[in-house]
Structure 1
Amino acid sequence: MRTAFDESERRGWAGQADAYAASFAKLCAHPVPGLLDAAGVREGVRVLDVGTGTGSAAAGACERGAQVTAVDAEPGMVARAAPAAPEADVRLAALPDLPFAADEFDALVGNFVINHVGRPREALAELRRVTRPGGRMAVTIWAVPAAAGQALLGRAVQAAGVVRPAHLPALAPEDDFLRTEQGFAALLGEAGLTDVVCNSLTWDHRTTREEWWSGPAAGVATIGQVLTSQTPVVIAEIKSHYESLCAEFAGPDGELILPHAALMAWGRA
Structure 2
Amino acid sequence: MTATPAQRFSDTAGDYAATMAPALAPVAAEVVRRAELRANQSVLDIGTGTGTAARLALGEERRVIGLDAAAGMLEIARREAPGVELIEADFTRIPLEDASIDVVIAVHALLFVKDRVAALREWLRVIAPGGRLSLSVPGPGDVVPSAVFGEIYDRYDVEWNSNDYPVPSELAGWAGEAGWIDVKVDADPTTAIPLRDEAAFRSWLRVGRAVSGWSAERIAAFGRDLMAASPSSADGSFRIPFGTIYLTARRPA
Class of the TM-score when normalised by the shorter of the 2 chains: 0.7 to 0.9
Instruction: Note the C-alpha offset of 1:243.
Output: 3.6
Q: Is the 8 A contact 2:15 2:207 kept in 1?
A: yes
- Aligned match of 2:80: 84
- Aligned match of 2:226: 242
Residues 150 and 203 of structure 1, relative CA distance in 2, 3 Å threshold = farther
- Aligned match of 1:73: 69
Residues 204 and 220 of structure 1, relative CA distance in 2, 3 Å threshold = closer
Taking the aligned partners of 1:156 and 1:70, their CA distance within structure 2 comes to 36
Matches within 5 A, 1:1-269: 8-63=4-59, 65-147=61-143, 151=147, 155-158=151-154, 160-164=155-159, 179-201=166-188, 202-210=190-198, 212-217=200-205, 219-221=206-208, 224-225=209-210, 227-231=211-215, 234-246=218-230, 249-269=231-251
- Given the two structures, how large is their TM-score scaled by the length of structure 2? 0.87
Q: Is the 8 A contact 2:202 2:220 kept in 1?
A: no
Q: Is the 8 A contact 2:195 2:201 kept in 1?
A: no
Read off the aligned partner of 1:213 and give its amino acid letter: F
1:101-150 Cα offsets, whole Å, 9 max, x none, are: 00000100011110211221111111000001100011111112242667
Taking the aligned partners of 2:84 and 2:219, their CA distance within structure 1 comes to 40
Residues 10 and 85 of structure 1, relative CA distance in 2, 3 Å threshold = closer
Instruction: Note the C-alpha offset of 1:240.
Output: 4.0
Residues 178 and 244 of structure 1, relative CA distance in 2, 3 Å threshold = closer
Q: Is the 8 A contact 2:140 2:168 kept in 1?
A: no
Deviating more after overlay: 208-217 vs 17-26: 208-217
Taking the aligned partners of 2:214 and 2:150, their CA distance within structure 1 comes to 14
Q: Is the 8 A contact 2:18 2:203 kept in 1?
A: yes
For 2:95, what is the secondary structure of its paired residue? Answer: coil
Instruction: Note the C-alpha offset of 1:44.
Output: 0.8
For 1:141, what is the secondary structure of its paired residue? Answer: strand
Instruction: Note the C-alpha offset of 1:210.
Output: 2.5
Taking the aligned partners of 2:220 and 2:34, their CA distance within structure 1 comes to 43
Q: Gaps (5+ residues) in structure 2? A: none
Instruction: Note the C-alpha offset of 1:266.
Output: 1.1
Residues 154 and 13 of structure 1, relative CA distance in 2, 3 Å threshold = farther
Taking the aligned partners of 2:62 and 2:236, their CA distance within structure 1 comes to 40
- Given the two structures, how large is their TM-score scaled by the length of structure 1? 0.82
For 1:214, what is the secondary structure of its paired residue? Answer: helix
Instruction: Note the C-alpha offset of 1:33.
Output: 2.3
Q: Is the 8 A contact 1:52 1:58 kept in 2?
A: yes
For 2:44, what is the secondary structure of its paired residue? Answer: strand
Q: Is the 8 A contact 2:142 2:148 kept in 1?
A: no
1:168-218 Cα offsets, whole Å, 9 max, x none, are: xx89xxxx887111111111101100000001123354331335413344x
Taking the aligned partners of 1:234 and 1:140, their CA distance within structure 2 comes to 32
1:61-119 Cα offsets, whole Å, 9 max, x none, are: 10454211111101111111123221121121112111000000010001111021122
Taking the aligned partners of 2:201 and 2:240, their CA distance within structure 1 comes to 13
Fraction of identical pairs, as percent: 24
Read off the aligned partner of 2:122 and give its amino acid letter: E
